[in-house]
Amino acid sequence: MTSQHGASKGHRITVEQGSTHVRVVRDGQVLAESRRPLLLRETGLPVRYYLPPEDVRTELLTASDTTTHCPFKGDASYWSVPGKADLVWAYQEPLSEVAAIKGHFCFYDTEVVAGE
C-alpha cells in the first residue's frame, strides 16, 4: 500500500508561525507560555499550537513510553505530568511536509490568552 503525504483525498495540513499568546496551566501551575506558537491546521481537527521548547517547563514533564504514528506528521513521543498521563506530545523527526514542528511541544489543553 502506498500513501501520499500532504493533501490526499481532501486532507490538508498547514503550519504557520503565529503570534498568539497561549498558555498551558495544569492544577494551578503554568506548564508553558508562548507568544510564538506554530499553528498547525489539519483537516477535521482543531487548530493545534506547537510551542518552542524554550517556552515549555520541560523539567515538569516526565517522558512516557507512549508513541503514536500519524501518516501525515510521523511518529510522536509523549510526556506526562502528575495526575495526567500523555498530556503533551512532540515530533522529534516529523515528515518533511511539517518539518517546522520538529521538537515543538503540543498540549491537549492550550488556552489562548485574550485581552492584553
Domain containing residue 105: CATH number: 2.170.150.40
What average pLDDT values come out for the chain (116 residues) when binned by 10 residues?
49 94 94 97 94 97 97 96 94 96 94 75
In a domain? residue 2: no
Domain that holds residue 99: 13-112
In a domain? residue 20: yes
Query: According to the model, what pLDDT value does residue 3 have?
Result: 33
Query: According to the model, what pLDDT value does residue 1 have?
Result: 35
**Percent of the chain scoring above 70 in pLDDT:** 91
Number of domains in the chain: 1
If we measure between CA atoms, which residue out of 12, 16, 18, 14 comes closest to residue 34?
18
Instruction: List pLDDT tens digits, range 37-59.
Output: 999 999 999 999 999 999 999 99
User: Three-class SS of residue 6?
Assistant: coil
Query: According to the model, what pLDDT value does residue 53 have?
Result: 97
In a domain? residue 6: no
* All cell numbers assigned to 57: 517547563
C-alpha 13/C-alpha 41 separation (Å) is 6
For residue 111, list its beta bridge partners: 23
Residue found under cell 506528521: 73
